[in-house]
Amino acid sequence: MNNSYHFDINQNKNQTIPLIYKLAKMENADDKDIQTAFRQFPKGDNGIFKKSDLTVSLIEFLKTSQLTLTPHELKTLRQNLKSKEVRSISGVTPVTVLTKPFPCPGKCIFCPNDVRMPKSYLSDEPGAQRATRNRFDPYAQTFNRLVAYKALGHSTDKIELIILGGTWTSYPEPYQIWFVKRCFDAMNDFDTFTLPNPIETKMDIPFEDKLLEEVDGTELNKTYNQIVSMAILPKKSQSETEHATWDELFNVHSQNESSETRCIGLVIETRPDEITETEVIRIRKLGATKVQIGFQSLDDEVLALNKRGHDSSVTANAVGILRRAGFKIHAHWMPNLYGSTPEKDIEDYRKIFSDPRFKPDEIKIYPCSLIASAELMQYYKKGLWKPYTHDELTHVLEEAYKLTPLYCRITRMIRDIGSQDIVVGNKKTNLRQTVEINIKNQKADIQEIRYREIRGKKVALEDLKLKVAEYDTSVSTEKFLQFVTNENQIAGFLRLSLPNQDSPHFIEELDGAAIIREIHIYGESLNIGEK
């Protein structure tokens, strides 16, 4: 497994093994104590180790019996290595997996064209790196992510499975069924009471290294779709193995209902013009509960200039169908697109929540960054597009914070793209933190969910009060029930949808029914049955 990680595990073991033993004996250590220990065993000329370095080393050393730790020491070690508590502080543990590279129906000029990845993703992004290490094998991606969480001390009982990779609905149905089934197979096979070894996959990937050297670059004679099709279509043997039946999928769904590693939510992402009533019924059959959907902009002129391929009415129709079917709606929005301005963007964001056809439950804000392989590069070279200044961008994001209603969560405020991949545009990874500091200095009243989450704070039930917010959409009346503290911090919520009864429902079972679209309790993820 050494080649799966960013550093040589065995080359560094003379430093990592004693550091692991030291951390295993440090009970009740705080962050300062842990950082001191890390500095005592430096990484040669390359600074200090990261917790993730020790985590992958620990997995390898346990696998090869190079460590002897008591159960109590292992528990202490995992607690001290536990990082990114935010991963499970929202009450569930997210497992993100990527689909293989595949032709995309979109022609957006801002989209990167990394042929090693599914459309719109870059190979240097953390999730993409994990997918590559696992050769886009859904089973290996899921299982090995659970291994990593377990090693870090996170609960793996309640999993939100997030399937990313361009336009999910453009993949063949047999591949979709197989992909979801294999993710569920991994969760059903995972033993939550021990630390399993990582597994390796022998799956083919679309490109081997030699071919990558030939096709990877910014000046491609062929389109992304042409290159990916050339690599995928000849692999008929693989397409035959990437196949499962609906009955096989329903069987693993049923098994997972009593599994120790239980999927409590399944997320897919797609384009608005891929959403139809028939498609939504099929997504439901797969087990999906949330759809990430690319709004990008609601300005029809901006959408056209960026070759999005549809207008805002298509987005509105897609949101209505998804809401009527009970899905959680997670929008993607991009300021600084070609043809927009800071002023236009602020008004565009305002429309997202003032127009009853939209009003998503969650939103990711991804400021447009220039990637060399994107068609936008040609516009930049001609002087037709340029990135916002830092002040312009932070102003747009600050206003977005202020305009976000209490029922919506700003999940992310920056795309996890390495600065080496960005030609021009924001390269600051702490942009959200900067924006939040500015907002606090302005003493702005921020209502969005993530800003108000209790996170690791302990609260008593008697200190919480129920508040109900009601808002109308084009297809329903929504009631947002939330338990909050006296400081308006949110401990949990429920989304109750009361659909309009204008016409018979396209899903017979939901005709005339109220729908609980989501219930969520914040705080560190607990094991199933634990209070």
Contact 346, 308 (CB under 8 A): no
Q: What is the dihedral of CA 443, 444, 448, 452, to 10 degrees?
A: 10
Residue 263 class from Cβ within 10 Å (0-12 exposed, 13-18 middle, 19+ buried)?
Answer: buried
pLDDT of residue 1: 34
Q: What residues contact 185, with CB distance under 8 A and at least 6 apart?
A: 139, 252
Give the phi and the psi of residue 187 in degrees, each rounded to 5: -65, -40
| C-alpha separations of 164 from 98, 199, 235, 276 in Å | 5, 21, 22, 20
Confidence (pLDDT) at 42: 86
Joined tokens for residue 253: 């769904």
Element (H, E) at 309: none
Taking only the tens of pLDDT, the chain with its 531 residues reads 333 334 577 888 888 899 999 999 988 888 788 888 888 888 876 678 877 778 778 877 877 778 888 888 887 887 787 755 545 556 688 999 999 988 889 899 999 888 888 888 887 777 888 888 888 999 999 999 998 887 677 788 899 999 998 799 999 999 999 999 999 999 999 976 565 667 777 776 655 544 444 555 444 567 888 777 777 655 554 556 888 999 999 999 999 999 999 999 999 999 999 999 999 999 999 999 999 999 999 999 999 999 999 999 999 999 999 999 999 999 999 999 999 999 999 999 999 999 999 999 999 999 998 888 889 999 999 999 999 999 999 999 999 999 999 999 999 998 777 677 787 877 777 888 889 999 999 999 999 999 999 877 888 888 999 999 999 999 999 999 999 999 999 999 999 999 998 778 999 999 999 999 999 988 765 666 666
Q: Tokens 């209505």, residue?
A: 320
- In angstroms, what CA-CA distances link 506 with 228, 291, 347, 451? 36, 18, 34, 36
* pTM, two decimal places: 0.84
DSSP designation for 351: H
Q: In three state form, how does the secondary structure of 404-446 look?
A: CCCCCEEEECCCCCCHHHEEECCCCCCHHHHHHHHHHHHCCCC
Measured at the CA of 282, the angle between CA 281 and CA 287, to 5 degrees, comes to: 95
Q: Per residue in 207-242, is it b (16+ CB within 10 Å) or e — as a string?
A: beeeebeebbeeeeeeebbebbbebbeeeeeeeeeb
What pLDDT was estimated at residue 482?
97
